[in-house]
A and B are shown apart, each in its own frame.
Chain A
């Protein structure tokens, strides 16, 4: 299988009153079809810009973004997005929130099919019984689950997530990591996950991409070899020596990206 996402030498700068602010510098990322890429890097290094580029919401100054062998120049229907803010529409029920992308992507799809599709996902994430509720009646973790359902309801090729678990408490976050694996097992998609959490990147990612400080380049790529029998990853695996070693490597790379020499940090 080829690469589903290819980011080739992307350079981008924002125009500010004080002149151009370079955020990406020759960034190159490849994500094979069906793989889960976790992207980590120092704060403000341009990770969110990366998600907007892949989604086609903006164009890079130079370089190219390719999805499925096609160059991305504008938004496309084969992308799903989830953010740190679950962005639930308060005037819609949970079910109607999840259906929203289908209204855009598949306007001719019968209502019953849309509902069936949304309910199937809501069941997968344990939200059946809550479909008629307003978002404000749900907890933050439940809203984020609904947000994930909405991001994949139209079966996108690519799921782009910008710190979707960042605002959740530690236990809820671990629950959602598990949900993420269950979703992937049933609904294969290629994913890019922006995160600040190294454990999250190792637990969820097939590869972890470390970006350098601003302007961001690809500084390091870790191929995750998660301990276990190859089935669904277990949270306990994070406490094995193999994972500890990977986490140590990543932490060291982050320190380099922050401009600190690892040796000084000790």
Chain B
């Protein structure tokens, strides 16, 4: 019953959304070059399925690579900010400022900096756009660790590394995963920014662009839906990891 509900309810919600979309297009009598309807999409997928598979794979691996970089760099940065007040005071304005820059403006900069390194550029953008939430949440998680938590081990002469490994790290995991869920979708935006703004014929972004140049509007919408599906898949992959590593933070439902 519970698993049925867990799977059935989201599927029903998606079905309702699709039906509503179809209805809106039908009621307004929009042609598919204004707004494609869900019933236009199967044809696009059937015609270009191999391009969808290749593009999805290219988008997915570059997003995941950027995300992994973001996890490593964001966690390290968060640790520095969590443990040192000076680092926190110094880095916060820089980080916030950097995060406020629209990343689309960085695409040409990266493209010029690393000419022709398409994969590298794309991974770098996915990373740049997604490390911020991780760094901030790890930093806050560590800096707000109650002193008693540290003291129970420190009073036994435990080293800083031991205290980090046994207390600070596990205690910060729920915040970390919360941030990672935000970062997952951000990383997709980063990958696609490069794929669309600085086209190099790879990824779902390139497929979107070719839909645009060929005035194949259903194809463009089909790409957007494919991106949404990839986003959902990666998000739930993170949820599964969270269940394994920070499942204890989930309160039993009473």
- 0/1 per residue, B222-254, Cβ < 8 Å to A? 000000000000000000000000101101100
Q: Are B155 and A56 in contact (CB under 8 A)?
A: yes
- 0/1 per residue, A126-137, Cβ < 8 Å to B? 000000001011
Asked whether any CB of chain B lies closer than 8 Å to the CB of A165, the reply is no
- Please, which residues of chain A bring their CB within 8 A of the CB of B155? 55-57, 75, 79-81, 160
Q: Are A89 and B170 in contact (CB under 8 A)?
A: yes
Known: A89-B171, A91-B248, A137-B252. A79 touches B156 (CB 8 A): yes
Give me the interface of B with A, judged by CB distance under 8 Å. 146, 148-149, 151-158, 162, 166-167, 170-171, 173, 246, 248-249, 251-252
B146, B153, B246, B249: the one contacting A104 at CB < 8 Å is B153
Please tell me the number of chain A residues within 8 Å of chain B, measured between CB atoms: 28
Q: Are B252 and A104 in contact (CB under 8 A)?
A: no
Q: Are B152 and A81 in contact (CB under 8 A)?
A: yes
B149, B151, B167, B171: the one contacting A57 at CB < 8 Å is B151
Q: Complex formed: what's the CA distance from A85 to B158 in Å?
A: 20
Give min CB distance, A103 to chain B, whole Å.
7
- Please, which residues of chain A bring their CB within 8 A of the CB of B249? 90-91
Most buried by A among B153, B156, B246: B156
B156, B166, B251: the one contacting A77 at CB < 8 Å is B156
Give me the interface of A with B, judged by CB distance under 8 Å. 52, 55-57, 74-77, 79-81, 83, 85, 87, 89-91, 100-101, 103-105, 134, 136-137, 150, 154, 160
- Please, which residues of chain A bring their CB within 8 A of the CB of B171? 89-91
- Give the residue name and chain of the A residue nearest to B163 (CB): A104
Q: Are A90 and B151 in contact (CB under 8 A)?
A: no
- Please, which residues of chain B bring their CB within 8 A of the CB of A80? 155
- Please, which residues of chain A bring their CB within 8 A of the CB of B153? 100-101, 104
Q: Are A100 and B166 in contact (CB under 8 A)?
A: yes
- Please, which residues of chain B bring their CB within 8 A of the CB of A137? 252
Q: Complex formed: what's the CA distance from A57 to B167 in Å?
A: 17
Q: Are B156 and A101 in contact (CB under 8 A)?
A: yes
- Give the residue name and chain of the B residue nearest to A151 (CB): B152
Q: Complex formed: what's the CA distance from A139 to B53 in Å?
A: 53
